[in-house]
A and B are shown apart, each in its own frame.
Chain A
Amino acid sequence: MTAFDFAFWVLATVAVVAALGVVLLRDLFRAALLLIVALMAVAGVYVTLHADFLAAVQVLLYAGAIAILIVFAIMLTRDVAQGNPFNSLHPVALAVSALLLVSLLWAVLATDWQKSFLPPLEPTTGPIADILFETYVLPFEIASLLLLAALVGAIVLAREK
Chain B
Amino acid sequence: MPRVWDNFVYNWLAGFLQDWVAFLIMGIVVMAIILNFLALLVMVLQYMDRRLIARFQVRFGPNRVGPSGLLQPIADTIKLLTKEDLRPRLADPLVFTLAPLVVFLGGTLAFAVIPFNRSGFLADLNVGILYIFAITSLGAVGIFMAGWSSNNKYSLFGAMRAVAQLVAYEVPVVVSILGVVLITESLSLVDIVEKRDIPLILLQPLGFLIYLAAATAEVGRPPFDLLEAESELIAGYHTEYNGMRWALLQLGEYVATFAVAAVVTTLFLGGWKGPGPAVLGYVWFMLKALFVYLLILWVRASLPRVRIDQLMGFAWKFLLPLALLNVFITAAEALMWPDFPWLLVPVNIAIALGLVVLWSSLFQLRAYRKVEA
Taking Cβ atoms with an 8 Å cutoff, the residues of A that contact B are 2-3, 6, 27, 29-30, 33, 36, 52-53, 55-57, 59-60, 63-65, 67-69, 71-72, 75, 122-125, 160
Question: With the chains together, A60 CA to B133 CA distance in Å?
Answer: 7
- For the complex formed, measure the closest distance between the CB of B261 and the CB atoms of chain A, giving whole angstroms: 21
Given contacts A64-B134, A64-B141, list 20 more A-B pairs with CB under 8 A: A3-B20, A30-B94, A33-B95, A33-B145, A36-B141, A52-B126, A53-B127, A53-B130, A57-B130, A59-B138, A63-B138, A64-B137, A64-B138, A68-B166, A71-B141, A71-B148, A71-B163, A72-B163, A125-B127, A125-B187
Contact B20 A2 (CB under 8 A): yes
8 shortest interchain CB distances as A-B pairs:
A123-B126, A64-B137, A3-B20, A59-B134, A60-B134, A56-B130, A56-B127, A52-B127
Does B131 interact with chain A (Cβ within 8 Å)?
A: yes
Knowing A56-B134, A64-B134, A71-B163, the reply to whether A124 touches B126 (Cβ < 8 A) is: yes
Residues of chain B whose beta carbon lies under 8 Å from any beta carbon of chain A: 19-20, 23-24, 92, 94-95, 125-127, 130-131, 133-135, 137-138, 140-141, 144-145, 148-149, 156, 160, 163, 166-167, 170, 187-188, 371
CB distance from A33 to the nearest CB of B (A): 7
A65 touches B170 (CB 8 A): yes
A29 touches B148 (CB 8 A): yes
Partner of A29, one of B92, B131, B170: B92
Contact residues of B: prevailing secondary structure: helix
The complex places the Cα of A55 from the Cα of B167 at a distance, in Å, of 20
Closest CB in chain B relative to A63 CB, distance in Å: 7
Asked whether A30 lies within 8 Å of B95 as measured between CB atoms, the reply is yes
Chain B residues whose C-beta falls within 8 Å of the C-beta of A65 in the assembled complex = 137, 167, 170
> Contacts A59-B135, A75-B148; is A68 near B130 (CB within 8 Å)?
no
Residue contact B163 to A68, C-beta cutoff 8 Å: yes
**Inside 8 A of B371's CB, which chain A residues have their CB?**
160
B358: shortest Cβ distance to chain A, in Å?
A: 26
Taken together as a complex, chains A and B put the C-alpha atoms of A29 and B20 apart, in Å, by 37
A-B contact count (CB 8 A): 82
Complex Cα distance, B66 from A106, in Å, reads: 72
Task: Looking at the assembled complex, report how far the CB atom of B77 sits from the nearest CB atom of chain A, in whole angstroms.
Answer: 30
Contact check, B126 vs A68: say whether CB atoms are below 8 A apart.
Answer: no
Most-contacted residue by chain B among A52, A68, A71, A124 (CB, 10 A)? A68
Would A63 and B134 be within 8 Å (CB), given that A29-B148, A52-B126, A125-B126 are in contact? Answer: yes
**CA gap between A122 and B125 in the complex, in Å:** 10
The one of A55, A56, A67 in contact with B141, judged by C-beta atoms closer than 8 angstroms, is: A67
Query: Nearest Cβ in chain A — how far from B151, in angstroms?
Result: 9
A71's nearest neighbour on chain B, judged by CB, is B144
User: In the assembled complex, how far is the CB of residue B115 from the closest CB belonging to chain A, in whole angstroms?
Assistant: 17
CA distance A71 to B350 in the complex (A): 43
Nearest A residue to B133 via CB reads: A60
Contacts of A56 in B (CB 8 A): 125, 127, 130-131, 134
A27 vs B92: C-alpha distance when bound (angstroms) = 10
Task: Find the A residue at minimum CB distance from B132.
Answer: A56
Which residue from A6, A29, A60, A72 sits with its C-beta under 8 Å from B137?
A60
| Measured CA separation A160–B131 after assembly (Å) | 38
Q: Which of chain B's residues has its CB closest to A160's CB?
A: B371
For this complex, 5 residue pairs linking A to B, each with C-beta atoms less than 8 Å apart, are A30-B92, A59-B134, A63-B138, A68-B144, A68-B163
Residue pair B126, A122 in contact (C-beta under 8 Å):
yes
CB distance from A73 to the nearest CB of B (A): 11
| B66 CB to nearest A CB, Å | 41
Are B167 and A123 in touch, CB under 8 angstroms?
A: no
Q: Which residue of A lies closest to B174 (CB)?
A: A60
Chain B residues, Cβ within 8 Å of A75: 148, 156, 160
